[in-house]
Structure 1
Amino acid sequence: MDENNPVEFYKKLKEQLTETSKWPSDYLYKFIVETKTDKIDKINTIFDNTGAVIDLKESKNGKYTSVSITVNLKSPDAVIEKYKKVGEIEGVISL
Structure 2
Amino acid sequence: MTDKEKQFKQALDGHHQWPCPYVYKFIVPTENFDQFKRLFPDEELKTRQSKNGKYTSITMVSTMCSSDHVMGIYEKASQVPGLMSL
**TM-score, scaled to structure 1:** 0.80
How far apart are 1:29 and its partner, in Å? Answer: 0.8
Residue by residue over 1:1-53, the C-alpha shift from the partner in whole angstroms, topping out at 9 and shown as x without a partner, is xxxxx823321111011011110111111111111x1x22222233233xx33
Unaligned runs of 5+ in 2: none
Give distance in 1, aligned partners of 2:19 and 2:13. 11
Residue equivalent to 1:15: 10
RMSD of aligned residue pairs (Cα, Å): 1.6
The CA distance in 2 between the partners of 1:40 and 1:8, in whole Å, is 31
Measure, in 1, the Cα distance between the counterparts of 2:62 and 2:45.
9
SS at match of 2:76: helix
Compute the displacement of 1:67 (Å).
0.8
The Cα offsets for residues 30-85 of structure 1, whole Å up to 9 and x where unpaired, read as 111111x1x22222233233xx3310100111111101111111110000001011
Residues of 2 paired with 1:73 and 1:48: CA distance? 16
Gaps of at least 5 residues in structure 1 are 1-5
Give % identity: 35
Q: Counterparts of 1:74 and 1:65 in 2: how far apart (Å)?
A: 27
In the alignment, structure 1 residue 70 sits paired with structure 2 residue 30: no
| Alignment size in residue pairs | 86
